[in-house]
Amino acid sequence: MKVRDVLDMVECTVEAGTSGLDNEVKCGYASDLLSDVMAHARDGDIWVTVQAHENIIAVATLVGLAAIVVAGGVECQPEAARRADEEGIPLLRTRLPAFEVVGRLYAAGVRGRTGS
From 28, 26, 18, select the one nearest 88 (Cα to Cα).
18
CB of 37 to another protein, least distance (A): 8
DSSP secondary structure, 62-86, as one string: HHT-SEEEE-TTPPPPHHHHHHHHH
Kindly write out the interface string for residues 78-107 of this chain, putting x where it contacts another protein by CB under 8 A and - elsewhere: -x----------------------------
**111 is a contact residue toward another protein (CB under 8 A):** no
Q: Residue 11 or 54: which CB sits closer to another protein?
A: 54
From 77, 116, 114, select the one nearest 93 (Cα to Cα).
77
Burial class from Cβ neighbours inside 10 Å (0-12, 13-18, 19+) for residue 33 reads exposed
Helix axes 55-63, 78-87, angle to 10 degrees: 20
Kindly write out the interface string for residues 23-62 of this chain, putting x where it contacts another protein by CB under 8 A and - elsewhere: ---------xxxxx-xx---x-----x-x-xxxx-xx-xx
CB of 8 to another protein, least distance (A): 28
Q: Which residues bind another protein (CB under 8 A)?
A: 32-36, 38-39, 43, 49, 51, 53-56, 58-59, 61-64, 79
